[in-house]
Structure 1
Amino acid sequence: MSKEKRPIQPEDFIKLSIYSDPQYTHRNAFFYVSTKINDKGKYESHLYKQVLTEEKPTRWTFSGQKNNHPRVSPDGKYLVFQSDRSGTMQIWLMSLAGGEAKQITTFPYGATSPEWSKDGKTILFTARLEADDDIYELKELTKEDKEKIKQEKAEKPLIVNRLKYKSDAQGFHDDKNVHIIRYELEQDSFAQLTSGKLDYYYQDISPDGETLLFAANLNKTADRELYLDLYTLNMKTKEIHKLTNNKGQYYDAHFSPDGKQIVCYGNTFQYDGATLNELIVFDVKTGKERWLSKKWDVQLGDLMIGDTQLGESFTGPVWSNDGSKIFFLGTEHGATHLFETDLTGNRKIVYTDNHHIFSFDYDQNTDSFIMGISTPVNPCNFYHLQDGKVRQITKANEKYVNEVHLSKPEEINFQADDGWDIQGWLLRPYGFQKGKKYPLILEVHGGPHAMYGQTYFHELQLLAAKGYVVLYTNPRGSHGYGQQFVDACRGDYGGKDYTDLMNAVDYVLANYSFIDQDRMGVTGGSYGGFMTNWIVGHTNRFKAAVTQRSISNWLSFYGVSDIGFFFTKWEHGYHLLDDPVKLWNFSPLKYAKNIETPLLILHGELDFRCPIEQGEQLFITLKHLQKEVEFVRFPNANHELSRSGDPNMRIERLNHILRWFKKYI
């Protein structure tokens, strides 16, 4: 460790620029999004252009709080993007030759996700509309309009008559639906391609421009289902054809360069929410499908967990220039890799370096890639990959990385009680000295079907900076180790997943003499919060615990969470009325009398995923039992508090964690 580098502080994440969404222009350059927190404590994102042969990027947007989703026209003349500079997220168009951006849409509830047709004459995007909206009559809402609508909502009761009436990301749902709109550049005109009281998600348009590909659930029972099918829409006849016939979810679908095939991710919920994604290719003419990934036993896409990844990240699948190969990211053993496969399922790694590839773009002209990569000691950067050679292009957060000390993780591998192989990592504390004993913090990730690994994680680095050994592992139930492993915690929460975590602690105590076994703490969020609650109800080996956005009672979770009505059955095998006794047995609240560990409960007041009543129940029970407990409620914070919540609240949260562990360990 360099003595010149300082330990990081809670507020240091404010200094980070987080890169995302690389998009090639023509051969020697690409656009990307840079998101950071401005001087007013608000998130701000802007578009940058990076020429591959130049050292510094050029900033292209200056107005507005958020500018993102850049897409370059096929002829390389225009850039379309979305921006909230007008007060609402709308679609904007800019000439790459220079000049001011032109606002294309003025929809009252915004417009997002613009994409080009293959001939560059059309832009397709999505917008939230009411059933009787006329897109030619729609006008953007003023500040006064928005305030009036907000006030009117506050003065009326909310009438609920459907099952899926709220979500953690959106809050309470309204009567608007997502529809696909086409904008013709030459005519400066719009056409609404979908309608009705259902949501339609744009996927792609065929190379000849005649067929629209979208995802939707068009069933009458859509409110009770999680299915998402693929459909094609003939742009001339308006005929809709259903492409998928299995009950499942299909998404990220793209036409092949010749338009004869479609590739997508999908699964049929064979293992409910723990089902691995599959790579599927459809023949457009016959509808015949091939599941290329059946024998791979690898999770497709990026399931890495971090707390500083902001902005959208494309993970594939994408066709090669001649349509003979498909490129995509895969999640495996604590890292993500860039893969390719031919059309028979012969898979190989295009690039890996035991890091976190969080996004990529492929250029069909040069057969090359731009990859966004994060490591534990480098939050993000873009790299150019061509002919097997990799070169770093950007220098994001160079000053920050050179200024602060970041602990490099040491990988650990051990066997659980029943012989299963478990992977984890250890961070040594700042200023580590041989012969000295250090306290340990066990971190438990959420999901549970996610993965810790080789990415930047501010909270973990902060704990190491404050003098703690940090242990984080992927117990069974985590992604990255195959279908049997990720499915293994379902119906067994608090079982072998719990013993995996305790075995991890036992392993590091036996193999790292600098850990003080009498000064250990535990923390985690969501499922990690559930597991923190479970741990302190089943062992007193930890001196302090911090449970974040947690689950304490599966009986009430079923009815209050935005996902409770299906997630409870998915993870435990029972709905509320199927077997409430067994759900109670899985609930940490049942074991509250056993808790002797001082417990700090952190929860967002607008969390609809794990609602705050879960924290309230645990707090009141422990307080009534005269246990050592404290409850911190974060106003206007949802389930994403630790990752994309209000920056000031994120700092408060980190400080409370540090305060609790300092007091009791």
Structure 2
Amino acid sequence: MTASTKKRAITATDFQNIKVLSEPQFISEDRYSYVTTFVNEDKEYESQVYVHNLIDDSHKQWTSGSHRNHTFCVSPNKEKAFFLSNRSGASQIWLTDMGGGEAKQVTTFPNGAFSPVWSEDGKSILFCSYLEKDDDISALKELNKEEKKAKQKEAQTKPLVVDRLRYKSDARGFHDNSKVQIIQYDLTSGTFHQLTDKEADHHLVDVAPDNKTLIFAANLEEDADSSLVSDLYLLELQSKEIIKLTDSKGSYHGASFSTDSKKIVAYGHGFEYAGATLTKLFIYDVESKERMLLSRDWSIQPGDTMVGDTRLGSSEAGPVWSEDNESIYFVGSDNGTVSLYETDLEGNLKIRYSDNNHLFGFSYNPDTKSFILGISLPTDPCNFYKLSADGTLEQLTDVNKTFISEIALSSPEEITFTSSDGLEIQGWLLRPYGFQEGKKYPFVLEIHGGPHAMYGQTFFHELQLLAAKGYVVLYTNPRGSHGYGQEFVNGVRENYGKGDYHDLMEAVDYCLEQYSFIDENRLGVTGGSYGGFMTNWIVGHTNRFKAAVTQRSISNWLSFYGVSDIGFFFTKWEHGVNLMEDPTELWDISPLKYAENVETPLLILHGEKDYRCPIEQGEQLFITLKHLNKEVEFIRFPNANHELSRSGNPTLRVARLDNICRWFEKYL
């Protein structure tokens, strides 16, 4: 077997040639809206809203300008639509007539607006914004460029006073005193009404079809600063009365009212296995507040846990009610795929759509009982399809047709093997560009982050790039990954560097036994976050790899406890102890302890604004290895957080990929 090389190999910059689709939303039986995100000529992300007419197959662009325009939603009477745009600076709500015309800016809040939802009568928009305690929402105005610069300059001359445990996060950076509050905008009067005001973050989830109540998620407990609880609350819009739905013993989200407003479906769990707990699906009776568990016998993970590097923009993952309130639709992760599921109110589960691919979002039309599905394939980044009530699947877009016609992409070959302690491990192997039988090729093992995430059947630019550079690429789901049931995903907890390490090494052994074209003397390894931890661990425990690249990694669990935005709870969750309880245990599973054993040339990549795995983790490892005269290099990415590889600055993303390829080329 010899692979064709008529098409060119993919390059590090090619993610900039990909159009990323998201947010399919039915407008009518024959029309749906969606968002396209891409890297523009200024090397910045741009998102535009389109409407696809299925009758004449026309695509009308609804937004313009070099901005991020998204979250398009048509009013219940189909006359107006709102969308979010950062064209004024911050992400604000804009209103447009469906008949055409210029969009009108609705919000001008300094911190922008997010999570907008229409009221069922179409007379108001409910949304969230970060507000200070004494903010007068009728007087808030967005800062202009000069005012923003002045505020930033002033902040640089003031010390940051920290008096709480959660004072930073990878998404927001250092926190101020603002909290997420829910606001209602009246379209008739043009006035705003603040619906919540407690010193807590209130996240709007859904508004009841009868316009009487809304659901929000919050932690209103006294110990909220150190607690991970996320409760669901009902807010009576007329009386402003708040009613608690859940028991402050778990984390709940994604709630949705039934069409008759009598029931609520929600995702959540009670931390039974800490962060490795499978998400469950619950039904709440609005009147009695009684709760019923639907997912008691399910082994799938509700929601999308697929790992990738080209998904920009969010999409509906459910739960969504059927028109008769007898069924609920949602996406679920299972065995390296993400599929569309349906359950009745007794928890009887069935698959509505599944294939060897990644269903990244959907929209349901109750009139036709059909779906718009967003699907990614390993050899096609994304497209929309229509799933009819009878199960017929019709492709609606071919948005990256030109790109795919020019690029040679490697189709993954699935592998499965049984680990030494009896677990079935799934993975995929990519053959290199221009593969020729009888030739030996270098090999790269990729390790995903999480650890509670999942590799699978989706487009992954970095993996394809390594294959294009001439490497056999292996990516697997070792214990701790989602998609294989509760026991499997929990298998890594208090087991780091043990069972997971053996799963990965045995996956490499399996490939060496099965594929004679792999050069066992030219093995490389790389991974990010937890995958970075495992890369560090591997090179401290074996010298079989001739090159390694560790990305946004963890090297020292003792310091991670205090420097990461999640360290104070994640360390306990994953290892069973925190720094104060057993520093010896944490040191024993820290890759830094084994630095003297490292013989593999190691490249360390880290973002300077990474608050999830802070850059000091990379610094400690680099200084230690350099002091020990090991072969090591350290690359720091300015203003980059934990999301560098997925949604970071496009120029820095290219530099990151170029350096990974350079390191492997040098040593493999």
State TM-score, norm by structure 2: 0.99
Matched, 1:568 2:564: no
SS in 2 for 1:484: helix
Is the CA contact (8 Å cut-off) linking 2:229 and 2:248 kept in structure 1? no
Residue 448 (structure 2) pairs with residue 422 (structure 1): no
* Equivalent in the alignment of 1:40: 42
Q: Which AA in structure 2 matches 1:283?
A: D
The superposition leaves residues 378-430 of structure 1 with CA deviations (integer Å, 9 ceiling, x where unpaired) of 00011111120111111111110111001000000001011110000000000
Give yes or no for the alignment of 1:74 onto 2:82: no
1:200-234 residue CA offsets vs partner (Å, 9 max, x unmatched): 00011111111121111111111111111010111
In structure 2, what is the equivalent of residue 472 of structure 1? 475
1:29 corresponds to 2:26: no
> How many angstroms does 1:197 deviate by?
1.8
Partner of 2:128: 126
Residue of structure 1 equivalent to 2:385: 383
- State yes or no: 1:651 paired with 2:654: yes
> Within 5 A, what are the aligned runs for 1:358-377?
358-377=360-379
Aligned to 1:501: 504
Could you say if the C-alpha distance between residues 3 and 64 of structure 1 is closer, same or farther in structure 2, counting changes exceeding 3 Å? closer
Distance in 2 of aligned mates of 1:19 and 1:659? 31
Alignment-mate amino acid for residue 12 of structure 2: P
Deviates more, 1:84-93 or 1:421-430: 84-93
Cα deviation, residue 77, structure 1: 1.3
Q: CA deviation at 1:53?
A: 2.7
Which residue in 2 is equivalent to 1:392?
A: 395
Is contact 1:64–1:84 with CA below 8 Å preserved after alignment? no
- Between 1:19-28 and 1:482-491, the stretch displaced more is 19-28
**CA RMSD, aligned part only?**
0.8
Q: Which residue of 1 aligns with 2:434?
A: 431
Q: 1:182 aligns with which of 184, 204, 207?
A: 184
Equivalent in the alignment of 2:193: 191
Can you list the C-alpha shifts for 1:136-191, whole angstroms capped at 9, x where unaligned? Answer: 11112111111111011001000000000000010000011111111111222211
Say which of 121, 126, 146 aligns to 1:144. Answer: 146
Matched residue, 1:619: 622
Aligned counterparts, 1:349-360, within 5 A: 349-360=351-362
Instruction: State the match for 1:606 in structure 2.
Output: 609
Task: Tell me if the contact between 1:55 and 1:394 (Cα under 8 Å) persists in the aligned partners.
Answer: no
Provide the secondary structure at the position in 2 that maps to 1:412. Answer: strand
Contact conserved, 1:56 with 1:394, CA < 8 A, in 2?
no
Aligned residue for 1:543?
546
Counterpart CA distance in 1 for 2:399 and 2:367 is 27
SS of the residue corresponding to residue 501 of structure 1 reads helix
1:447-504 C-alpha deviation (Å, 9 max, x unpaired): 0000000000000000000100000000000000000000000001000100000010
Kindly tell me: are residues 56 and 513 of structure 1, through their superposed partners in 2, closer, same or farther at Cα, counting changes over 3 Å? farther
Aligned ranges 1:193-592 → 2 under 5 Å: 193-387=195-389, 388-592=391-595
Q: Which runs of 5+ in 1 are unaligned?
A: none
Deviations 1:26-70 (A, max 9, x none): 111111111111111111111011112333411110135110111
SS of 2:261's equivalent in the other structure is: coil
- How many angstroms apart in 2 are the aligned matches of 1:236 and 1:436? 73
Q: Distance in 2 between matches of 1:510 and 1:428?
A: 16
SS, match of residue 461 in structure 1: helix
Count matched residues.
Answer: 665
CA offset digits 1:517-559 (Å, max 9, x no partner): 0111000000000000000101011100000000000000000
* Cα distance in structure 2, aligned partners of 1:279 and 1:479: 16
1:419 is paired with a residue whose SS is coil
SS at match of 1:223: coil
Per-residue displacement from partner, 1:85-121 (whole Å, max 9, x unpaired)?
A: 1122111000110100011111122112211111211
Q: Distance in 2 between matches of 1:528 and 1:500?
A: 13
Q: Take 1:4 and 1:99, find their aligned partners in 2: how far apart are those partners? A: 47
Name the amino acid aligned to 1:176: S
Identity of aligned residues (%): 61
Q: Secondary structure at the match of 1:407?
A: coil
Amino acid at match of 1:92: W
The one-letter code of the counterpart of 1:368 is S
Quote the Cα distance in structure 2 between the aligned partners of 1:2 and 1:117: 55
Give the conservation status (yes or no) of the 8 Å contact 1:537–1:592: yes
In 2: Cα distance, 1:346 partner to 1:89 partner: 41
2:164 maps to amino acid:
R
Distance 2:401 2:182 in 1: 41
- Higher mean displacement: 229-238 or 477-486: 229-238
Partners of 1:54 and 1:246 lie apart in 2 by 51
Cα distance in 1 for partners of 2:238, 2:61 equals 40
Equivalent of 2:636 in 621, 633, 637:
633
Q: Return the offset for 1:4.
A: 2.4
Instruction: Provide the rounded CA distance (Å) in 2 between the counterparts of 1:652 and 1:308.
Output: 16
How far does the alpha carbon of each residue in 1:354-382 deviate from its partner, in whole angstroms, 9 at most, with x for none? 21001111111221111110010000011
**Cα shift at 1:3:** 3.4
Is 1:104 equivalent to 2:124 in the alignment?
no
**Partner of residue 597, structure 1:** 600
Unaligned 5+ segments in structure 2 are none
Q: Is the 2:4–2:434 contact (alpha carbons within 8 Å) kept by the matching residues of 1?
A: no
State the shift of 1:83 in Å. Answer: 0.6
Distance 1:221 1:58 in 2: 50
Q: Work out the CA distance in 2 between the residues paired with 1:472 and 1:525.
A: 13
1:475 partner letter = P
Q: How far does the alpha carbon of each residue in 1:291-344 deviate from its partner, in whole angstroms, 9 at most, with x for none?
A: 100110211000000001001122100000110000000000000010000000
Q: Aligned partner of 1:214: which letter? A: F
Indicate if the aligned counterparts of 2:230 and 2:248 stay in contact, CA closer than 8 A: no
Q: Is the 8 A contact 1:24 1:72 kept in 2?
A: no
The 4+ residue runs of structure 1 with deviation greater than 3 A are none
Aligned residue runs from structure 1 range 84-103, under 5 A: 84-103=86-105
1:576 maps to amino acid: L
Aligned residue for 2:164?
162
**1: CA distance between counterparts of 2:214 and 2:149?**
37
**Structure 2 CA distance, aligned partners of 1:146 and 1:197?**
25
Instruction: Supply the distance in 2 between the matched residues of 1:351 and 1:201 (Cα, whole angstroms).
Output: 31
CA contact (8 A) 1:215 1:229 kept: yes
Contact 2:560-2:613 at 8 Å conserved across structures: yes
Secondary structure of the residue aligned to 1:279 is strand
Superposition TM-score, scaled by structure 1 size = 0.99
How far apart, CA to CA, are the structure 2 residues paired with 1:337 and 1:106?
Answer: 39
Contact 2:96 2:103 in 1 (8 A): yes
Partners of 1:261 and 1:468 in 2: how far apart? 53
Tell me, in whole angstroms, the C-alpha distance in 2 between the residues paired with 1:486 and 1:102.
47
Pairing partner for 2:118 from 100, 111, 116: 116
Matched, 1:642 2:645: yes
1:2 to partner: Cα distance: 4.0
